[in-house]
Every structure is written in structure tokens, then in C-alpha cells.
Amino acid sequence: MSSYLYILTDGRNTKIGITNDLRKRLANYTTHNANFHVYKTYACEESESRRIEAAIKSIFKDKLSGQSKEWFNVEPERIDRYVAVLVQSTSEHGLSPAMHSVTLTDEARELQSEIWYKMEQGERQHKEAIAALKERFVDCFSKSFGLGISHRKLPDNIVIRDCLPPDFNHCNINSGIVRGAVTSNHIQLPGDDHQHFFFHLIRLSSGHYIALCTAKVSMPYLSRLDRERDDLIDAASNLGWYSTIHNTWSWHYPENTGLVLYHQKTPIIERLNLWNNSFRKWVIERSKVLEQQTCLDREKWDKTIDDIVGDCTFPMDIWSYQELYDKYISTFWGDCGSTEFWLAREYQCLFQQWFSESQMQK
């Protein structure tokens, strides 16, 4: 049965609740507290709504206030960050980002009109109101396109936040943009402007998360997009990305800016599965313990761990040092004339530990 999960605030406190009739429930609150307003609503199956409500009440149980103990002395933004994560975790295996035409929803169209009107009146004069409207619009956009969590709503307990890397299953490894992405850990596309990023979360054993970037949006002005359209499509193709244009959804400056949506050609579900069983995830989870080891050269050992943790282009489908060397190191970092890469011993030691631990868990 479908229901609504809602977040209310009265300016000081926040409440989370569930209802099957949102209009009736909000009318009841108006009778008892005229100062409240709706911060956010989520449409969920009732079982999921109850699971999420219970989780939030458990997380913030020490923040309950008032005689009824139904409101939390917590900012609505903070509670919403947790709710967004919990909602996303139940749907992350759903659709890949839309590559077809998606019609503006009524809510999105109204928000877009308000954004345009206030920007025409004066962006500085209405800065806070415009920012709030854009946040609501991003939620509509993300839901309509199946993108995951906006970078502005990532929870506090993020250990790693990766950018969108080249897709090694589909990219042109000889292109300058791919080589630059690997060596600099950064990608600058033609026409990039007013960027926004979307993520899915990978839970670590500690309860913290890795934020896996699954989509990127760029909103250049329409005149610039017209000039650089062919270049950005070519660059995305070299990276192994889809690039689709959805100008009617642009929220930076409606009617003046376009919108390009980028995402990898490899499906999200496949990327998530690779991540969950990857060598890099294992290193990230154990990085502090691994740093305590005194074998091998200390400086090289620390650099190897730091490189793996911080490298968003590190391949996920690697199962041995030799495979890493053949597919990644020699391809992008240059062949030193032998397989004795200068950090070879450190990588081999880490892979050996990973393999041994994996065998013990079987």
C-alpha cells in the first residue's frame, strides 16, 4: 500500500510521520500548530515508510522534545539527509538514468517558473529563495531521471566522494581526455558550467559510506551549448559516457541555460556489485590498520595506500597485481620496461593480504 513519509518543521523542531491521506493529516496539524510548514514529503510503500520512520526515531531518540515526545530538536535539513539515504538505499537497483525525453512534471514546471521569475527580478535580491526553489527542483529532476542523491544531500558520514570516472568498458584509452582523467583525477568537459552531481551510496562495515558518482549534470548557457555541442558529445564518447541533452529541465537559469546529463554506459547495478567486492573497497575499509604495518618501505607503503584510496579511476574489476599492471599501470602510467613497477612490492603485498582474507571468509 502506498503512503507518504513527511517531514515537518515549526522553525525550531522537526517531526517525521506517515500518512495515507497527506492533505487530511496536514490539516490536522494546522489546527494544533499554525506555525508549522512542510519541509519535504516522500511517496513510499507503507512498509518502507514505517521502516524509515523507525530508523529516524532510533537515530535521533535523544533529541526528542516537548510533552508529546513527537518532535525532534534537530534541523529538518539534517533529518532529511538521513531520510534521503534510507529512501535511496531501497531503490538504488532501479532504473539507470533516463536517456529518452522526460516530460516536466507539474511541480517541476511551477518551480521552474518561480525560479525564472525571481531571477528576472534580481538574483542577489532573492538569493535564498532561489536556492531553496532550486533544491526542490533538483529533487524532482533526480526522481524523474532515476539519478540517486544530489551532492548537496550527502550525509555527514561520507568517507570517500568520487567524481564520475571514465568507463573502462567503453572508453577510448588512447584519447587525451581519458589519459588526463587518470593522471590528474579530474575531468573538464567542453562547455562545462553550473555542474551538479548525483550519487549512490556504498555502505562500509563501519556504517560510513563511499559516495559513488553515477551522474553529472552541466548547465551551460544555450549559446555556448550550441557552439560546443559536438565537442562535448565527442568527449563523453571517448570517456565511455552517454551524453543526453534535456534543455527543458535546466534549473540554473530557466530558458537561458541548457542541460546535459552524463553517465557511464556500464549499468549502475553492475558498478555497485563490482564496488562491493572490489580490492579498492577493501583497502579503504582497512586503510588505518594497513598504515600501521611496518613491512616494506614506509614511504612507498603509505603512498600506495593513499593512491588507491584517493584514485576515483582505480578499476573495480581487478583481482591481482599482474592484472592491475597489465590493464592500468602500464597503460596509463608508462611501462618502465619490466613488470617491476616502482611500487610493485607494495601492491603485491596488499593483493596477497586481500586474497588471504577473502579465502578465510569462504
* Domain presence at residue 122: yes
Question: Average pLDDT, stretch 268-292?
Answer: 88
Is the same domain home to 122 and 257?
yes
The whole domain housing 68 covers 2-91
Residues 150 and 174 in one domain: yes
pTM for this prediction: 0.74
- pLDDT-derived band of residue 170, with 50, 70 and 90 as boundaries? very high
Mean pLDDT value across residues 20-46: 75
State yes or no: pLDDT of 36 exceeds 60: yes
Closest CA to 217 of 238, 237, 246, 240: 246
For the segment 61-120, what is each residue's pLDDT rounded down to a tens digit?
888 887 667 889 988 888 887 787 777 655 544 446 776 788 999 999 999 999 999 999
Q: What pLDDT is stored for residue 93 in this prediction?
A: 44
pLDDT tens digits along 136-151: 999 999 988 988 899 9
Which range is least confidently modeled, 39-43, 186-190, 286-290?
39-43
| Nearest partner of 188 among 197, 200, 180, 198, judged by Cα | 180
Instruction: Check residue 227 and give its pLDDT.
Output: 95
Q: How many domains does the chain have?
A: 3
Domain end marker among 35, 61, 91: 91
The enclosing domain of 16 has a CATH number of: 3.40.1440
- Name the domain boundary from 224, 248, 276: 276
- pLDDT tens per residue, range 313-349: 999 888 888 889 888 988 887 654 445 688 889 999 9
Conformation bin of residue 19: beta by default, left when phi > 0, alpha when psi is -120 to 50: beta
**In the predicted structure, residue 9 carries a pLDDT above the cut 70:** yes
Residue 118 domain flag: yes
Which residue is it, cell 593480504? 353
Shared domain for 356 and 305, answered yes or no, is yes
Residue 237 binned pLDDT confidence (cut-offs 50, 70, 90): very high
- Cα–Cα distance between 338 and 105 in angstroms, integer? 58
Q: Which three cell numbers stand for residue 280?
A: 579498492
Select from 58, 91, 124 the last residue of a domain: 91
Q: Does residue 340 share a domain with residue 214?
A: no
Instruction: Calculate what percentage of the chain has a pLDDT beyond 70.
Output: 91
pLDDT at 294: 65
* 293 and 269 share one domain: no
What pLDDT, on a 0 to 100 scale, did the predictor assign at position 151?
93
CA 348 vs. chain centroid, Å, equals: 31
Q: Give me the mean pLDDT over the 153-180 stretch.
A: 92
Shared-domain flag, residues 250 and 143 = yes
Instruction: Provide DSSP, 296-333.
Output: S-HHHHHHHHHHHHH-TT--SS--SHHHHIIIIIHHHS
Averaged confidence pLDDT in the chain: 86
Give a yes or no: residue 47 inside a domain.
Answer: yes
**Taking the C-alpha atoms of 119, 84, 277 and 308 in order, what is their torsion angle to the nearest 10 degrees?**
40
Least confident of 14-28, 147-161, 167-181: 14-28
Quick: pLDDT tens for 192-214: 999 999 999 888 888 889 999 99
pLDDT at 62: 84
- Average pLDDT (35-40) is 80
Radius of gyration of the chain, Cα coordinates, nearest whole angstrom? 23
Which pLDDT belongs to residue 362? 47
pLDDT value of residue 236: 96
The answer to whether the CB of 40 falls within 8 A of the CB of 7 is yes
CA atoms of 168 and 284, how far apart (whole Å)? 21
CB–CB of 55/79 below 8 Å?
A: no
Looking at the structure, tell me whether residues 120 and 243 fall in a common domain.
yes
pLDDT above 60 (res 285): yes
Separation CA 337–CA 178 (nearest Å): 23
Q: What pLDDT is attached to residue 306?
A: 94
- pLDDT above 80 (res 261): yes
Across 223-244, average pLDDT: 95
CA distance 304 to 343: 7
Give Cα 198 to chain centroid, integer Å. Answer: 4
pLDDT classification of 247: cutoffs 50, 70, 90:
very high
Same domain, 140 and 269: yes
